[in-house]
Chain A
Amino acid sequence: MEKIVECKDVVRVFTSRTFLGKKQETRALDGLSFTIPQGIVFGLLGPNGSGKTTTIRILATLLTPTSGQAKVLGYDVVKEASKVRGRIGLILGGERGLYGRLTGEENLKYFAALNHLNREAANKRIKEILELVNLAQDSKRNVEQYSRGMRQRLHIARGLLTDPEVLFMDEPTIGLDPAGAQELRQLIPSLVKRGKTILLTTHYMSEADELSQQVAIISRGKLIATGTPSVIKRSFAKITVCEVICRQTQTNAVDAVQVLPGIQRVTAIADGPIQRITIQMKPGTEFKAKVTEILGKSNIESLVMRDPTLEEAYLSIIK
């Protein structure tokens, strides 16, 4: 499969100076390497400050790596930046980057002009894309009157404007209401079907799990796990999970389970007389006898082991 994005030993150090002139260095990326094949959604996950946005900025030619090499569509993002720019789309989360005094349509017209679309192609594409992101009705309104969600949809429209081969999406659903976020999540697979390659960063693990064919988890600028979401859950997760369905039991039972050896986290959700208890523990922990004793054998309806969710796996990996 053709490699669309390649990062090889990418290091990015930010340098700043204090008021007294003392040099301070922050290593945002520390030898990051990964590849993305064509036609997939690649989820890049990590806590705040882990280097996700820095990675996207480097790949989008907005930042040069301190060392290492990054390529998009086979072109070096530093030496051949101009060849990369016309073939990528960048969607950043948040409200910045739009011109508030221009209408939504004018914002897109401006970026169409910057991307060398001629008048006919620009008008046709803008009309299509405004329909796609459900902004056609509001396209003549100034963006300063848009809600946060509308601005985010306009960001998405701008990213898709040139029908790019590669899309970099940095937290694209931030600020969207549940319906808007779901619409975007429904749009992404259709883009992939048309051969687009998407690098997606998000803090919503269910989103990454639903959309990504491959996932990489980075922390402090280093890759710590990569693979399909299933592989991440099974091979990299440092926990196993047990779900217990039982009748409501004594109030301190959950606390009693929590302190058992090897148990990492216990959560309980009450649903009428029934309680669902999720127990996360170190692999190999002997727990069944003790848990049965604490909850009461006659109270337990079911006790099953399951794979951790991506969120549970992620949290266990980055700890």
Chain B
Amino acid sequence: MYNFWVQSKLTYKGLFFWLNWQGYTSAVFLQPFATVIMFAVLGRYTSNPDLVRSYILGIAVSSLTFIIIAGLTQGYTRERSLGGTQFLFVTPASRLTNFIARSVFHFPNGLICFAVGILAGWLIVGMDFGAVNWLGFVLTTLVVCFSATALAQVLGIMSVATRDWVSIGGVSSGVLLILTGMIIPLNVFPTVIQEIGKLLPITSGLAAMRSTFNGATLGDVYGDIVRELITGIVYFAIAYFAFIYFEHRVKRTGTLERDIQ
């Protein structure tokens, strides 16, 4: 457990770009606040305040996913560019432990971003918390954060393989914004797109989150929460096996350090 804690703390401290006063304040506090303001103002201008209130939760979730995806993908890429990945691969460390440890401190970052987004929504569009089923709402938030972390792990492996976290982060944020119902309800899309959206993390969890925000009981959203949890577990498993495959492949192809030799 001690070694797991050390790996969690030091991979986060050593590899998270924005772990300084300016970076952290900007990415974790100002960014979600600004995003909510932007979408709120845009929504008010183009439609009406009621519609804005309905998608503000989605915007807060998009901030949650953004910070987790950016944090994990930049960590994997940065480690490779620093030449640290080879020293990990030469140790007998449990790859599963190291893989999970990387995500530990990014999880609370996501929750903080989400909370800031909700705060901004309350201040700017006057979100009404009167009907919230708090137990259900907190539980769905934790599950959404878990599955967002799982997705970030998948994208992290993709970014370390391609040495590019910026493009992967940008594309994935766009896809999530459109296909998970963060802003646009999924049911306006063709059936095929809806089915793709259901395979992504966030989609089911966000539906459950909205329902509990409006007072639905845990029993009402049980199916969505379980689906979101299973989706997160599946994405974690995919990411882990991709991590193992990546190690195997770079040892076979000799490409881990080749680009810089």
Contacts and interface: CB of A to CB of B under 8 A. Distances in A.
Interface of A: 12, 14-15, 53-54, 57, 60-64, 82, 85-86, 88, 90, 96-102, 106, 109-119, 158
Given A98-B82, A98-B84, A85 B92 contact: yes
A14 B261 CA distance: 13
26 contacts: A12-B254, A15-B253, A61-B90, A62-B256, A64-B252, A85-B90, A85-B92, A86-B92, A96-B82, A97-B86, A99-B10, A99-B15, A101-B13, A106-B10, A109-B6, A110-B6, A110-B7, A110-B10, A113-B6, A114-B92, A115-B91, A115-B92, A115-B93, A116-B92, A116-B93, A117-B3
A158 to B, nearest CB: 7
Given A15-B253, A62-B256, A114-B98, A99 B90 contact: no
Interface string B78-103: 00001110111111110000100000
A114 B7 contact: yes
Contacts of B84: 97-99
Interface in B212-261: 251-254, 256, 258, 260-261
B254 A14 contact: yes
A257 B83 CA distance: 50
A158 B87 CA distance: 10
A90 B90 contact: yes
Interface string B49-92: 00000000000000000000000000000000011101111111
Contacts of A117: 3
Contacts of B83: 96-98
A97 B13 contact: no
B91 A111 contact: yes
Interface of B: 2-4, 6-7, 10-11, 13-15, 19, 82-84, 86-93, 98, 251-254, 256, 258, 260-261
B2 A114 contact: no
Given A86-B92, A102-B14, A110-B10, A97 B87 contact: yes
B2 A119 contact: yes
A111 B82 CA distance: 15
In this complex, which of A96, A98, A106 has the most chain B Cβ atoms within 10 angstroms of its Cβ? A96
B118 to A, nearest CB: 31
A97 B93 CA distance: 16
A63 B251 contact: yes
B86 A113 contact: no
A111 B91 CA distance: 8
Contacts of A54: 254
A61 to B, nearest CB: 6
Contacts of B6: 109-110, 112-113
Given A86-B92, A90-B90, A114-B88, A106 B3 contact: no
Contacts of B82: 96-100
A82 B93 CA distance: 9
Contacts of B13: 101-102, 106
Contacts of A100: 14, 82
Nearest to A78: B251
Nearest to A110: B10
B254 A114 contact: no
A2 B256 CA distance: 33
Contacts of B92: 82, 85-86, 114-116
Contacts of A60: 90
Nearest to B4: A113
What 10 pairs across the A-B complex have the smallest Cβ distances? A96-B83, A99-B14, A114-B93, A113-B3, A113-B6, A97-B83, A114-B91, A86-B92, A110-B10, A85-B92
A102 B19 CA distance: 12
Nearest to A120: B2
B94 to A, nearest CB: 8
A281 B98 CA distance: 58
A55 B260 CA distance: 18
A103 B86 CA distance: 20
A182 to B, nearest CB: 26
A111 B253 contact: no
B170 to A, nearest CB: 24
A120 to B, nearest CB: 10
A232 to B, nearest CB: 28
A64 B251 contact: yes
Contacts of B260: 96
A60 B256 CA distance: 14
A14 B4 CA distance: 36
Contacts of B19: 101
A63 B10 contact: no
Nearest to A97: B83
A117 B92 CA distance: 11
Contacts of A116: 3, 92-93
A98 B6 CA distance: 16
Nearest to A15: B253
Given A62-B86, A62-B251, A118-B2, 7 more contacts: A64-B252, A101-B14, A110-B14, A114-B3, A114-B92, A114-B93, A117-B3
A53 B258 CA distance: 11
